[in-house]
């Protein structure tokens, strides 16, 4: 019973408190604030430190003057220049450059395998059907060439140079830079035996002289300094 009475008393107190809050809100809303204009503190203009109208500096009209509009000519198909310049007499129209593109790539030389070579002279190789290859970067050693010897008589170094080339090739096939295995007459190109450049081998061993200004010239200078091949004594 005591607990029930306490609960009822608390509920009544909450209802009373809510009623008082609502009533107070209604009274504030219905009674607007009444301001008395006499109570407003409006300052006297005479007490303010305001500048006189005559003391205000005049406006500088010169600075407000608008600049004259800039003339811009229309661009015509036969004229080109900046619109700021009307005199384009000194300008010259040139043709448009070609579009940028990658430079043409050099076609890789075709290498073919040539069989049954015959040494005609050091630096010249023959094949069947009248086909001849003259090696590049060297001057072929003529068969009738003779070289000085330690004795009184020169020796036949041209014939020996051809023999040394034949012994080096040993009837092996040559890989040569040429477009086809079928041609007529003589062509000038580069040939290899395996990985060995035949022109470089002849220049290094001294059996053919490199042409001046080519990459093989140092090999000929070395062969001459070491007295190899054509620059040495007789080989028998």
Non-local CB neighbours of 162 within 8 Å, separated by 6+ positions:
119, 120, 121, 122, 141, 143
Chosen CATH of 111-231 out of 2.40.50.140, 2.40.50.90, 1.10.3720.10, 3.30.200.20: 2.40.50.90
Query: How high is the pLDDT of residue 78?
Result: 58
Q: Residue 16: its pLDDT value, please?
A: 78
In whole angstroms, what is the distance from residue 236 CA to residue 233 CA?
10
pLDDT of residue 95: 78
Residues 6+ apart with CB under 8 A from 6: none
Q: Say which DSSP state 146 is in.
A: -
Domain range summary for the chain, segments of one domain joined by +: 111-231
Predicted pLDDT of residue 213: 92
Question: What is the full per-residue pLDDT of the chain (236 aa) written as tens digits?
Answer: 677 777 787 778 778 777 777 776 666 555 555 555 555 555 666 666 655 655 555 555 555 556 666 655 555 555 555 555 555 566 677 777 777 766 666 656 788 899 999 999 999 999 987 899 999 999 999 999 999 887 788 999 999 999 999 999 998 999 999 888 888 899 999 999 989 999 999 999 999 999 999 999 999 999 999 999 999 888 87
What is the reported pLDDT for 31? 53
Distance CA 143, CA 42 (A): 132
pTM for this predicted structure = 0.55
d(CA 141, CA 158): 6
pLDDT at 88: 56
Tell me if 201 sits within 8 A of 178, measured CB to CB.
no
Nearest partner of 227 among 121, 150, 165, 156, judged by Cα: 150
- The whole-number pLDDT of residue 176 equals 93
Give how far the C-alpha of residue 145 lies from the chain's centroid of Cα atoms, to the nearest Å. Answer: 53
Q: Rounded to whole angstroms, how far apart are CA atoms 137 and 213?
A: 9
């Amino acid at each position: 019973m005591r607990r029930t009475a306490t609960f009822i008393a608390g509920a009544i107190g909450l209802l009373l408190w809510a009623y008082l809050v609502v009533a107070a809100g209604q009274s504030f809303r219905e009674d607007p604030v009444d301001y008395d204009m006499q109570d407003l503190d409006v300052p006297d203009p005479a007490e303010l430190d305001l500048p006189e109208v005559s003391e205000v500096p005049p406006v500088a009209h010169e600075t407000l003057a608008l600049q004259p509009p800039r003339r811009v000519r229309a661009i015509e198909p036969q004229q080109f220049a900046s619109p700021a310049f009307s005199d384009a007499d000194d300008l010259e129209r040139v043709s448009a450059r070609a579009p940028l593109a990658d430079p043409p790539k050099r076609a890789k030389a075709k290498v073919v395998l040539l069989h049954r070579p015959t040494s005609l002279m050091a630096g010249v190789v023959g094949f069947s059907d009248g086909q001849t290859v003259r090696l590049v970067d060297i001057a072929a050693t003529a068969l009738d060439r003779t070289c000085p010897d330690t004795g009184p008589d020169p020796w036949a170094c041209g014939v020996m140079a051809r023999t040394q080339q034949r012994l080096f090739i040993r009837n092996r096939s040559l890989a040569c830079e040429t477009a086809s295995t079928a041609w007529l007459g003589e062509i000038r190109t580069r040939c290899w035996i395996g990985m060995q450049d035949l022109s470089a081998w002849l220049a290094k061993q001294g059996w053919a002289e490199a042409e001046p200004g080519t990459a093989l010239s140092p090999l000929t200078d070395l062969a001459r300094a070491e007295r190899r091949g054509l620059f040495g004594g007789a080989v028998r």
